Amino acid sequence: MRSIETCREDFPALHQTVAGGRPLVYLDSAATAQKPRSVIEAEARFYERDNANVHRGVHTLAVRATEAYERARRAVARFIGATDPACVVFVRGTTEAINLVARSYAQPRLGPDDEIVLTPMEHHSNMVPWQMVAQATGARLRYVDLLPDGTLDLASYERLLESGRVRVVAVTHQSNVLGTINPVREMAERAHRVGAVVVVDAAQSVPHQPVDVRQLGCDFLAFSGHKMMGPTGIGVLWGRRELLESMPPLFGGGEMIREVGLFESTYNEVPYKFEAGTPPIAQAVGLGAAVEYLESLGMEQVRAHEQRLVAYALERLGQMPDVRIYGPRQHRGGVVSFNVEGVHPHDVATILDQEGVAVRAGHHCAQPLMRWLDVPATVRASFYVYNTPEDVDALVRALEAVRAIFGAGAKPR
């Protein structure tokens, strides 16, 4: 077991100074995580030794590349409790995974009498694809209400399900803005009672807490490699085998076929029928290394570490009278969104950057949620295994600099 206390050493990008010599404090892991050396080296090693295209060659390197790619698939399956690696489809990321389900599973099945249930806290990538499906099919989008603390109003969810028309429930496991962890298991149970399938956006949960698809009981799970210390350009759609088998491929081309004729073709089995063309091979290898790294830390420990950090961050930020924090105080993930009264979030983020603290400001691809919060944007600090309480202290010190420049509690400009 690797220790979280010392794992910071494993991340080369964290050991640098920015902004004229200040040590980098990276609080933007919800956007993308830093990579441990083992991931960087796994990808480099693949290019140095094994680089070849997969599934197409009999030469030594092609066999090695194919084995490395499929080993990564098995590692991902193990990581999310999937018993069948064939149900792990490699895609570019969460966005592509959800679009694949929306286009290939939902669109051919839905019509004007059907409903898709979403929540207002979805990232655009779990909202816009469903809007597109609704526009193409006439299906109706319905939204679960939010309670004032930024959790889901499950009574309103129950009422939506009573229509008898709900065919799809698409919900984020963990909000990238509020940190809310949604009761996906209960929601899936209820959705299944009315015959709906459940699509879970796990972009912010798979990297940060133990996720087991058997326990969650969902039908599809989407997540991105780059948010869990893996490379960019690789992500995962896990789906129940019978559902994946029932779906037509979204892209046609090499790899995804069994037999090609001049006028029609037959398709490969899952997952290959969804992986047209040369896949992101080195990226898959890097993702496999990221999975091994996270396993060596232990996902329970990862979650516990982030819980401690978030509790500390909420306590420290909560002591600043002009800082308004969004989202629930309990049972939440490792992101803290806030605003400093009277200061635009982009100004806050710019000054924090000058202090060496990297946070994100903006709508976080959740514009409907911003409207619900009644703000144009928020500042978001997000934590991962390599962050420490000292990073929270650095954030608070940098926020003092914001106050010094703008004046505490200044009126909105």
**Catalytic residues, which ones?**
365
Are 322 and 341 spatial neighbours (Cβ–Cβ below 8 Å)?
Answer: yes
Q: CB nearer to ligand PLP: give 119 or 339.
A: 119
Q: CB nearer to ligand PLP: give 204 or 387.
A: 204
How far is the C-alpha of 407 from the C-alpha of 399, rounded, in Å? Answer: 11
How far is the C-alpha of 411 from the C-alpha of 307, rounded, in Å? Answer: 33
Shortest distance, CB of residue 269 to ligand PLP, whole angstroms?
Answer: 26
Residues 188-227 that bind ligand PLP (CB under 6 A): 201, 203-204, 224
Shortest distance, CB of residue 229 to ligand PLP, whole angstroms?
Answer: 13
CA angle 397, 402, 404 (to 5 degrees): 90
Shortest distance, CB of residue 137 to ligand PLP, whole angstroms?
Answer: 23
- Part in contact with ligand PLP (CB under 6 A); list of ranges 87-95, 148-156, 240-248, 323-331: 87-95
Q: CB nearer to ligand PLP: give 165 or 363.
A: 363
Shortest distance, CB of residue 217 to ligand PLP, whole angstroms?
Answer: 20
How far is the C-alpha of 258 from the C-alpha of 273, rounded, in Å? Answer: 9
Q: Residue 280 to residues 13, 19, 87, 244, 246: CA-CA distances in angstroms?
A: 23, 34, 17, 20, 25
For residues 228 to 247, the per-residue mask of contacts with ligand PLP, x marking binding by CB under 6 A and - elsewhere, is -------x------------
Shortest distance, CB of residue 177 to ligand PLP, whole angstroms?
Answer: 8
For residues 88 to 127, the per-residue mask of contacts with ligand PLP, x marking binding by CB under 6 A and - elsewhere, is -----xxx---------------------------x-xx-
Does 176 bind ligand PLP (CB under 6 A)? Our answer is yes
Does 29 bind ligand PLP (CB under 6 A)? Our answer is no
The residue type found at 237 is L
How far is the C-alpha of 319 from the C-alpha of 400, rounded, in Å? Answer: 12
Q: CB nearer to ligand PLP: give 377 or 394.
A: 377
Residues 256-295 that bind ligand PLP (CB under 6 A): none
How far is the C-alpha of 274 from the C-alpha of 271, rounded, in Å? Answer: 6
Give the count of residues interacting with ligand PLP (CB under 6 A).
Answer: 14
Q: CB nearer to ligand PLP: give 137 or 180.
A: 180
Q: How many other CB atoms are found less than 10 A from the CB of residue 230?
A: 33
Residue 209, token pair as written in the block: 């807490």
Collapsing DSSP states into helix, strand and coil, what is residue 107?
coil
Q: CB nearer to ligand PLP: give 91 or 395.
A: 91
**Cα separation of the two ends of the chain:** 51
Burial letters 67-88, b for 16+ CB under 10 A, else e: ebbeebbebbbebbebeebebb
Do the strands 360-362 and 265-267 form a parallel or antiparallel pair, or are they unpaired?
A: unpaired
For residues 306 to 345, the per-residue mask of contacts with ligand PLP, x marking binding by CB under 6 A and - elsewhere, is ----------------------------------------
For residues 154 to 173, the per-residue mask of contacts with ligand PLP, x marking binding by CB under 6 A and - elsewhere, is ------------------x-
Residues 340-369 that bind ligand PLP (CB under 6 A): 365
Q: CB nearer to ligand PLP: give 365 or 410.
A: 365
Are 220 and 105 spatial neighbours (Cβ–Cβ below 8 Å)?
Answer: yes
How far is the C-alpha of 178 from the C-alpha of 66, rounded, in Å? Answer: 40
Shortest distance, CB of residue 176 to ligand PLP, whole angstroms?
Answer: 3
Q: How many other CB atoms are found less than 10 A from the CB of residue 45?
A: 15
Using a 10 angstrom Cβ sphere, with 0-12 exposed, 13-18 middle and 19 or more buried, the burial of residue 164 is: exposed
Please give the helix or strand (H or E) that residue 290 lies within, else none: helix 281-297
Shortest distance, CB of residue 208 to ligand PLP, whole angstroms?
Answer: 11
Which residues bind to ligand PLP, rule: CB under 6 A?
93-95, 123, 125-126, 172, 176, 201, 203-204, 224, 235, 365
